[in-house]
């Protein structure tokens, strides 16, 4: 059975046999930590069959980084390299990132088969591009076939808002993450229409999308005056739930914990502007006492290589193509300070490591304490 036959079989079960053509695909389940040997062999078998992707396809962060900052054992590294080599044979971009939307112009109304929930939520919410949350293997098959099952998220009817969320919140990265987590846990599913939310910058947009999709099954939101075509979605809305969120409601996520031994920023991967702002703070303050780890995409890393190499002299280590969520390197630490609610959710569960939530500047202060 080839890829298009497999996708059509799946479509028979989930979308009445209907499929829709896609412009791009993004594959998850990339780290050897999460897919293991069976996953690696499945990907190798596809590559060895001579299959090639039909659309531009990117992939999630790996368990090893492209810059040799993260330490892993040789067996794990070999398994990860096999997956990467197979992806390259399949024609998948080697620029492993959880923020593929920064690599391409994802236009409103275009159709995609993505598997990374935070990236899906980002393009659905901030680009009004269309993607469902496709399982990693299905996204890979869709990339090879050029089509994906036409589930509800690929229809206008399936994208109508189902809950009205009112707030008066001006959110930096951490607050955006806290807000996304709160809304996600309160609603659980559906599509929220959000009024009164101001997101400070690109990092806050990424953190909102990541936390909303981490703490729920929600993969799309309509933010008033932000989401393209938000008025159209408001006119189509079928509000079954209403929620009011105040800043005091978000405090439940802030808990006292142990002093961190490392600081981590960049989940989702940092964009170039945010990395430059953090670098200017570090260069002004001098070398940090504790290591500060920052993950970014290979594209941003290549763009800012000279600055990144200079930051190493300040005990700041920027790495590309991976993150602490999917790398076993994380287990060498006891307590990690981070501004990422996604990291706060996954790191204790996957690695048994404590996490401390903090605003970006507070996290940087931890590195100097």
In this prediction, residue 129 carries a pLDDT of 98
Say yes or no: 61 and 166 in one domain.
no
Round the CA-based radius of gyration of the chain to a whole number and report it: 20
In this prediction, residue 1 carries a pLDDT of 77
Residue whose token pair is 């970014």: 296
Say yes or no: 85 and 188 in one domain.
no
In this prediction, residue 206 carries a pLDDT of 97
Say yes or no: 25 and 141 in one domain.
yes
Say yes or no: 142 and 125 in one domain.
yes
In this prediction, residue 117 carries a pLDDT of 98
In this prediction, residue 144 carries a pLDDT of 97
As a whole number of angstroms, the distance between CA 82 and CA 97 comes to: 18
Task: Find out whether 202 and 281 touch, Cβ atoms under 8 Å.
Answer: no
Say yes or no: 98 and 191 in one domain.
no
Say yes or no: 130 and 181 in one domain.
no
In this prediction, residue 297 carries a pLDDT of 94
In this prediction, residue 11 carries a pLDDT of 97
Per-residue pLDDT of the chain (369 residues; tens, 9 = 90+): 799 999 999 999 999 999 999 999 999 989 999 999 999 999 999 999 999 999 999 999 999 998 888 989 999 999 999 999 999 999 999 889 999 998 888 999 999 999 999 999 999 999 999 999 999 999 999 999 999 999 999 999 999 999 999 999 999 999 999 999 999 999 999 999 999 999 999 999 999 999 999 999 999 999 999 999 999 999 999 999 999 999 999 988 887 778 999 999 999 999 999 999 999 999 999 999 999 999 999 999 999 999 999 999 999 999 999 999 999 999 999 999 999 999 999 999 999 999 999 999 999 999 999
Say yes or no: 149 and 167 in one domain.
no
Q: Which domain holds residue 241?
A: 158-253
The domain spanning residue 87 has which CATH number?
3.30.499.10
In this prediction, residue 148 carries a pLDDT of 99
The total of structural domains in the chain comes to: 3
In this prediction, residue 273 carries a pLDDT of 95
Say yes or no: 149 and 217 in one domain.
no
In this prediction, residue 258 carries a pLDDT of 81
Calculate helix-pair angle for 32-48, 136-145, nearest 10 degrees. 30
């Amino acid at each position: 059975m080839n890829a298009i036959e497999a996708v059509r079989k799946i479509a028979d079960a989930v979308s009445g046999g209907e499929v829709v053509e896609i412009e791009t695909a993004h594959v998850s389940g990339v780290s050897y930590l999460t897919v293991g040997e069976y996953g690696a062999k499945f990907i190798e078998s596809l590559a060895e069959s001579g299959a090639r992707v039909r659309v531009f396809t990117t992939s999630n962060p790996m368990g090893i980084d492209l810059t040799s900052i993260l330490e892993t054992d040789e067996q794990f590294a070999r398994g990860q390299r096999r997956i990467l080599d197979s992806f390259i044979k399949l024609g998948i971009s080697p620029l492993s990132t959880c923020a593929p939307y920064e690599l391409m112009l994802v236009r409103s109304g275009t159709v995609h088969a993505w598997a990374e929930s935070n990236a899906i939520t980002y393009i659905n919410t901030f680009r009004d591009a269309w993607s469902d949350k496709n399982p990693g293997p299905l996204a890979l098959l869709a990339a090879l076939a050029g089509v994906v099952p036409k589930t509800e998220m690929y229809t206008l009817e399936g994208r109508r808002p189902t809950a009205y969320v009112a707030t008066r919140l001006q959110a930096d990265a951490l607050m955006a993450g806290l807000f996304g987590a709160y809304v996600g846990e309160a609603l659980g599913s559906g599509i929220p229409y959000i009024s009164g939310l101001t997101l400070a910058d690109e990092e806050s947009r990424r953190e909102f999308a990541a936390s909303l999709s981490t703490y729920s099954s929600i993969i799309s939101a309509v933010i008033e005056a932000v989401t393209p075509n938000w008025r159209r979605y408001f006119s189509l809305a079928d509000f079954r739930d209403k929620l009011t969120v105040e800043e005091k409601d978000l405090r439940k996520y802030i808990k006292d914990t142990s002093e961190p031994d490392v600081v981590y920023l960049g989940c989702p991967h940092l964009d170039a502007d945010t990395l430059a702002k953090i670098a200017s703070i570090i260069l002004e303050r001098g070398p940090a006492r504790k290591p500060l780890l920052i993950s970014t995409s290979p594209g941003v890393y290549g763009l800012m290589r000279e600055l990144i190499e200079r930051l190493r002299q300040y005990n700041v280590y920027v790495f590309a193509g991976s993150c602490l969520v999917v790398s076993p390197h994380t287990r060498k630490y006891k307590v990690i300070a981070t501004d990422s609610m996604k990291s706060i959710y996954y790191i204790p569960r996957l690695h048994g490591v404590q996490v401390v939530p903090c605003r970006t500047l507070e996290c940087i202060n931890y590195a100097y304490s």
